[in-house]
Structure 1
Amino acid sequence: MTPSPPPDDPLSPGLGAALSRLGKALEALELAVAKRLEDEMTLADLEEELAVMQDDRSRLALDLDAALARAITVEKNRDEVVRRIDRASASVAAVLGVEPPRGDRE
């Protein structure tokens, strides 16, 4: 350990001021490091939330594709049912000897 300069030394006031500035600089550095660590933790949380949202988006896109495929299948089946009903109606009308009804379906 270095002995401190005697109080009547002309460098003593400058050394005290330098030590004070050094102490303030160290405090500022500690605050900056703490802030940086906090920001990095917040960034990590945001990145994790973004990853979860991207997974949800992918899952929802797959669900939407499946729902659209089901809707197309249902529509095709409905069209087939309408055609069959029209044919059956025409067959019944022919057996009864009447004019088949004109369907306004669709």
Structure 2
Amino acid sequence: MPSDDELAPDPVTAALQRLDAVLSRLEATVTRRLEAEAAPDDRDAELALLGEDRSRLAAALDAASARLAQVEATSGEVGHRLDRAIAAVSGVLERH
């Protein structure tokens, strides 16, 4: 049967085991910290992209609104010209 000295790990082995456990916990903590720090950067980048998209869409909406106003003004002018042309043709037809 082994003696008590043979069953107990030597102090160097025990210290190495404790060091290994501490290093494992430290590595896990560093990994979690790096992941946590990377997440806000990703969110910041995504927010920046969303801001750029919003600006681009706002500019496109402004351009489309300006174009719509131009088309509405043009269609109003065309409507007035058609009304005058119809009145002129009606006047000519009534005289004949």
Q: Which runs of 4+ in 1 moved over 6 A?
A: none
Match of 2:73 in 1: 73
Match of 1:103 in 2: none
Q: Alignment partner of 1:24: what SS? A: helix
Amino acid at match of 1:66: A
**After superposition, what is the alpha-carbon deviation per residue over 1:46-99, rounded to whole angstroms, capped at 9, x for unaligned?**
0110110111121122122212211211221111011110122133334xx32x
Post-superposition offset of 1:33: 2.1
Match of 1:41 in 2: 41
Match of 2:4 in 1: none
CA distance in 1, matches of 2:84, 2:37: 70
Query: TM-score normalized by structure 1?
Result: 0.67
Identity of aligned residues (%): 12
Match of 1:28 in 2: 28
Q: Alignment partner of 1:18: what SS? A: helix
Higher RCO (C-alpha under 8 Å, 6+ residues apart):
1
Q: CA RMSD in A?
A: 2.4
* 1:19 lines up with 2:37 in the alignment: no
CA distance in 2, matches of 1:10, 1:89: 116
Match of 1:50 in 2: 50
Q: How many equivalent residue pairs? A: 89
Match of 1:86 in 2: 86
Structure with the larger helix share: 2
Match of 1:101 in 2: none
